[in-house]
Structure 1
Amino acid sequence: MAGDGQEPRIPTRPSVPDLFARLITDGRAWAKAELALLKCRGESLVEALRTAVVLIVAAIMLATVASFALAIGAILWLATLVGPLWATVIVVVTLLALAGILGWLGVARIGRVFEDKS
């Protein structure tokens, strides 16, 4: 070191343009990494939602089948009391009334959501 004939190296400071160039390079690398992370999170979310939607659709289909079975069962039971025609009329009118009430409640709720709150 002192006796080898070489001057001790003094670390040089990078220039301001060099610092800005490194800042821009690091910023780009950070932005690319953030975008990759967001893409990965988005793909994971889509996969989880896809599974949830499939399960919900299957549940709705099963509930629909169960509703048909209930309606048919009600018609068959009532048919022994009032005959098949009147049993069908009673079940259909009851289901339409229930559908009308539920639809009216849904429309009323939508109306409340969009009301002016001022």
Structure 2
Amino acid sequence: MAEGNDGDEPLGTLFAQLTDDARDYAAAEFVYFRELAITKAKDLRDAAVLGAFALLFAFAALVAIAVGAVMALAPMIGAGVATAVVGVVTLVLSGIFGWLAWARVAALLEPDE
């Protein structure tokens, strides 16, 4: 509304101005929330990339530990048996963790009562 208005504008003009103001407000809110969503998505992408690198290096460390275990056991029980022992232990641990993960996912997918 204009400054110093004495209140004698037609009602149609006031509603038109209200509609224009509401449209401008909605457009500004849309732009704000769009930019907020883009910023959050970029932050999430960066976190996912860092998490992927962390998993990559953790996997490399586990491979190094497994190779070290085979090398440490090989003189005592032979290379083939050492590889089998480390492989079986690794598969058992993988199965346990996989089963625990599956149980949690299944519990999350059950409908709430």
Tell me the TM-score normalised to structure 2 length: 0.89
Which of the pair has the greater relative contact order for Cα pairs under 8 Å at 6+ separation? Answer: 2
Alpha-carbon distance between aligned partners in 2 of 1:15 and 1:59, rounded to the nearest angstrom: 66
- TM-fit CA distance, 1:29: 0.3
2:46 is matched by which residue type in structure 1?
A: T
The structure whose residues are more often helix, as a share, is 2
SS at match of 1:44: helix
1:67 aligns with one of 40, 62, 65 = 62
Question: Mind listing any 5+ residue stretches in structure 1 that lack a counterpart?
Answer: 1-9
- 2:92 aligned with 1:113: no
Residues 1:28 and 1:110: Cα distance change in structure 2 (over 3 Å): same
Equivalent residue, structure 2, for 1:99: 94
| Matched residue count | 109
Alpha-carbon distance between aligned partners in 2 of 1:44 and 1:117, rounded to the nearest angstrom: 33
Equivalent residue, structure 2, for 1:7: none
Equivalent residue, structure 1, for 2:82: 87
Tell me the TM-score normalised to structure 1 length: 0.85
1:64 is matched by which residue type in structure 2?
A: F
1:115 is matched by which residue type in structure 2?
A: E
1:81 is matched by which residue type in structure 2?
A: M
- TM-fit CA distance, 1:116: 4.8
Question: Mind listing any 5+ residue stretches in structure 2 that lack a counterpart?
Answer: none
Structure 1's consecutive aligned runs of 4 or more residues displaced over 4 angstroms after TM superposition are none
Larger radius of gyration: 1
Residues 1:111 and 1:11: Cα distance change in structure 2 (over 3 Å): closer
Quote the sequence identity (%).
Answer: 35
Residues 1:39 and 1:116: Cα distance change in structure 2 (over 3 Å): closer
Q: Deviations over 1:60-97 (max 9, x none)?
A: 00001001101000000000111100100000000000
